[in-house]
Amino acid sequence: MDLAERISTLRRVNGLSARQLAALVDVAPTTVTRIESGAVSPSFDLAQEILTVLGEPIGFTGVADVAAIAAARSALDPSLAVSVTPGVDTWRQRWRRIGLVDDAARVVPGKEADLLFRAGRAARLTRRPGAVDFKAGPSAYDVAGALGSAGIGYALTGDAGANLYRSSAGEAWPVLYVVDAARAAEAAGLARKEPGSFGMRVTLIPFDGVSELGRTEIGGVTVVARDQVILDAYGGIDRMAEQADILLGRRVA
């Protein structure tokens, strides 16, 4: 797939019009349409910014943009202790251009779902900094129980986290934020997944100072904040997006 087709396809997958994408990267709408038609080739910097906004940066290194999470979470809950880094400010400016956040960087009423979706796409769950994959077997609740017994800080997310807020579907991929991935893996008896292998897995993601903010306890299990669960589900795989829609009332369980 060449760059023009890649941009066009990803724009549609993200549910953006050419005008909205143009606003996100601060160019004229005709620039986007000409790039997609192959009439012009964007500079490397512009191509990188477009693909970053669409969640597929050039030279992908496997690391998601946590600044998008911080910008979205703080827009939804200004009381959170989120540092405004240059990266966070960049996402705020992008989202302001398409009417997702206002001049005070707070979410525009009625745009909460769109904001969580955009942040989830920019910060894919499979690409979080420091994330480690382990062989499938134990459920998220098994791992949570082992970590709780060992006194290791954790918080469920993804479909298991969504189920704690509203029962909707079975767990497909256990994902937990943890204070220390190595200690957590040892406590839960997890075995590392072979690099490059596919299929089911258990994933541990180190606390990043943002995603674990607002943790709560439901049924004796610690889970990340509802907004974070939705964001992560939109950035997940398989049926996780459906879980996010269910939590937002967009889909019937």
**DSSP labels for 56-103?**
--TT--S---HHHHHHHHHHH-TTS-----HHHHHHHHHHHHTTSB-T
* Residue 96 included in any domain: no
Q: How confident is the model at residue 208 (pLDDT cuts 50, 70, 90)?
A: very high
* Residue 9 included in any domain: yes
Query: Do 229 and 218 form a contact (C-beta atoms < 8 A)?
Result: no
* Residue 224 included in any domain: yes
Which residues are CB-contacts of 117 (< 8 A; sequence separation ≥ 6)?
15, 234, 244
CATH number of the domain where residue 10 is located: 1.10.260.40
- Helical (H) or strand (E) element with 105: none
* Residue 88 included in any domain: no
What is the span of the domain harbouring residue 49? 3-53
- Helical (H) or strand (E) element with 109: none
* Residue 205 included in any domain: yes
Look up residue 251 and give its two tokens.
Answer: 């889909």
Q: What is the pLDDT of residues 36-81, one digit of tens each?
A: 999 999 998 899 889 888 877 665 555 788 999 999 999 999 999 8
DSSP class of residue 126 equals: G
Q: Write down which residue in 34, 53, 72 finishes a domain.
A: 53
Q: Is the pLDDT of residue 15 over 60?
A: yes
Q: Write down which residue in 35, 53, 71 finishes a domain.
A: 53
* Cβ atoms within 10 Å of 252's Cβ, excluding its own: 7
* Residue 36 included in any domain: yes
C-alpha 215/C-alpha 165 separation (Å) is 12
Tell me the whole-structure pTM to 2 decimals.
Answer: 0.85
Q: Write down which residue in 33, 53, 73 finishes a domain.
A: 53
- Of the two residues 86 and 166, the one the predictor is more confident about is 86
* Residue 156 included in any domain: yes
- Number of compact structural domains in the chain: 2
* Residue 108 included in any domain: no
Query: Do 102 and 75 form a contact (C-beta atoms < 8 A)?
Result: no
